[in-house]
Structure formats: C-alpha cells, structure tokens
Amino acid sequence: MSHTAHIRSHRKPRRSASTLAMRAGVAGGVLGTLAVAGASGSANAAEPVTQTLELPTLTADLATQAAQSADATQQAAANYQLQAERDAAAAKAAKQAKADLADARQKAAEAKKKAEETARKEAAARATRNAERTTLSATASSDTSTTTTSTSTSTGTSTSTGTSTGTGSAAAVIDFVRAQVGKAYVSGATGPSAYDCSGLVQTAFRQVGISLPRVSQDQSTAGTQVSLDNLQPGDILYWGSAGSAYHVGVYVGGGMFVGAQNPSTGVVERPLSYDPPTGAVRVL
C-alpha cells in the first residue's frame, strides 16, 4: 500500500455545471430585483423634487395669512383693552362726580345752618342792645336832670357838662380827656396832637399811674365789669362784646362820655344816647 493512500487531496473539488448555473440564475434574479428596486426608487425619488418646487409658494402664503391673522388679533385685543380702560375711567369719573356732589350738598347744608345760627345770634344781640339802649337812655335822662338841678341850685345856671363830677384819680382822667376834645383822630396815635380811641384811653389813665393794654379788645376786660345802670365817672365804656370790643371811651358823668370817635369827628364829648355803649369796666 502506498504511504499516501490515506492522505486527502488539498485541491478543491470541482463544482458541477448545474450548480454553477443555478447560482448564476440566482445571482441574475437578485441583480434583476435590485435593478427593479433601483428603478422604482429612482422614480419615487423624483416625485419630491416636483413637490418641493411648489412648497415655498404655499409656505409664504400661509405665513402671510398667519401674520395678518396675528396682527388682526392683536389689534382687536388692543381695542378691547382701550375700550375697557375708557369704561373704567368713565365709571371712576361718575363715581367721583357723585361723591363731589354729595360733599357739595353737605357743605351747602352746613353753610346754611351756620348762616341761620349767625343770623339768630345777631338778632338776639340786636334785641339785647336795643333793650340796653332803652335803659341807658332812661338813665342818661335821669342823670342829666339830677346834674342840671344840682348845678342850678349851686350856681343859678343850668348845665350838664360843666367840670368833672369825679374825684381824685377819676377827676384827673376826666380833666385830661376833656382837654383833648377837638384833636384829630388818627389810627394808631397815642397823642399828644392826635389819638385813636384806645390810644386816648390808655394815655388818659397813664396820667394817674395806671397802665392799660393798648387795644380796645383788651381794655374791655382790663377792670371789673360794671352795669351800665351803675356807671361812675372814670369808667371805661366799650362797644361790642367784652374781649372783642371795637371801640372804647371814658364816661365823664352826667350821661356824657369822651372818645376819639373817627377821622371825621376826632375827639368829642357826646351824650350816651349819641352812640350807646354795650358795656363798661371800672379800673379806679
């Protein structure tokens, strides 16, 4: 036996023609299939090209329409907001107008009430002054008659304004104010050539060492309040109410007073009935 008898050959075995033909057929079928698929794919791939050419036009139209729609929506929203703000402003204005009207009515009612109260007080004050004037007139007539009778008895003449009926400091005050009769009235003046009403009173009482406030309001509360039915020479007369008097003078007795009245008359001596005072204070 040969030593190579069991050794297999290293050459590849030959393939049969039928096998090769079958394989060739298969390969051909595969290639045909691929060719068909490729052709089909090429046909399909060509379609998007045609559609892609039309898309930009469609997209631009849609974008324009969308932008226009957005603008319209925004404008409508702005209009609604503006209308809402106008409605709110109108409502606020109406509410404020209503409140202002109510406030004005309340103020008008208060002003009317205050005016009525002021009128009532003024009417009461006028009634009081009229009553006081009636009393003062009666008192002045009585004082004048008494003084005239006394003067006639002692001198045989009849007068109601002679010399002072006061004594001591009162007489000095009365003599001083009578000596100023005929001098001018000047607002703010305290002598010696001109006076206002409170300036004359202040300067007169300074002659006897009494320091009085400068203005009528304060002079009307400088001493003890006395009744107009119980006046004494030297008492300070005031017009208006105590603490808010607008005029002052000096009672010189016999139903007479001396005062710096106004720029037209200057310093004068007049009966109480000429300008009835509303009160008096006594400092002597």
Q: CATH number of the domain at 271, please.
A: 3.90.1720.10
| In a domain? residue 128 | yes
Whether residues 146 and 186 share a domain: the answer is no
Residue 214 has pLDDT above 70, yes or no: yes
Looking at 133, 156, 179, the residue that finishes a domain is 156
Length of the chain as a residue count = 284
- pLDDT tens string 27-53: 555 555 555 455 554 444 445 555 555
Count CB neighbours of 221 within 10 A.
16
Same domain, 172 and 151: no
Residue 185: inside a domain, yes or no?
Answer: yes
Q: Is residue 13 one of the residues assigned to a domain?
A: no
Q: Which of 14-28, 121-135, 193-207 has the lowest mean pLDDT?
A: 14-28
What mean pLDDT is predicted for residues 54-68? 68
For range 50-67, the mean pLDDT:
63
**8 lies in a domain?**
no
DSSP state of 208: T
Q: Specify which residues 238 forms β-bridges with.
A: 248, 279
Task: Look at residues 156, 175, 210 and tell me which one is the last residue of a structural domain.
Answer: 156
pLDDT at position 232 is 97
Contacts of 268 (CB under 8 A, 6+ apart): 181, 258, 259, 261
Domain identity same for 74 and 176: no
Domain that holds residue 118: 59-156
Does 199 share its domain with 177?
A: yes
Over residues 167-194, the pLDDT tens digits come to 789 999 999 999 999 999 999 999 999 9
Confirm whether 18 is domain-assigned. Answer: no
Structure tokens at 253: 């007795």
Distance, CA of 63 to CA of 71 (rounded, Å): 12
Q: Give Cα separations from 156 to 87, 149, 152, 160, 251 (angstroms).
A: 98, 9, 4, 13, 25
Whether residue 246 contacts residue 259, with contact meaning beta carbons closer than 8 Å, is answered with: no
Residue type at position 72: A
How many structural domains comprise the chain? 2
Q: Which of 19-28, 90-99, 135-144 has the highest mean pLDDT?
A: 90-99
Question: What pLDDT was estimated at residue 94?
Answer: 87
- Is 116 in the same domain as 138? yes
Chain centroid offset of residue 195 CA = 42
Give the pLDDT confidence of 120-131 residue by residue, as tens digits: 776 666 665 555
Q: Where are the alpha helices (DSSP H) in 156-191?
A: 168-179
Quote the CA–CA distance of 284 and 137 in Å, as a whole number. Answer: 25
| 78 and 115 belong to one structural domain | yes
On whether residue 149 sits in a domain, the answer given is yes
Q: What residues contact 242, with CB distance under 8 A and at least 6 apart? A: 220, 221, 225, 279, 281
Is residue 199 in some structural domain?
A: yes
Q: Mean pLDDT throughout 91-114? A: 86
Last residue of one domain, picked from the residues 156, 186, 202: 156
Higher pLDDT, 81 or 159: 81
**278 & 196 share domain:** yes
Q: Tell me the β-bridge partners of 184.
A: 194
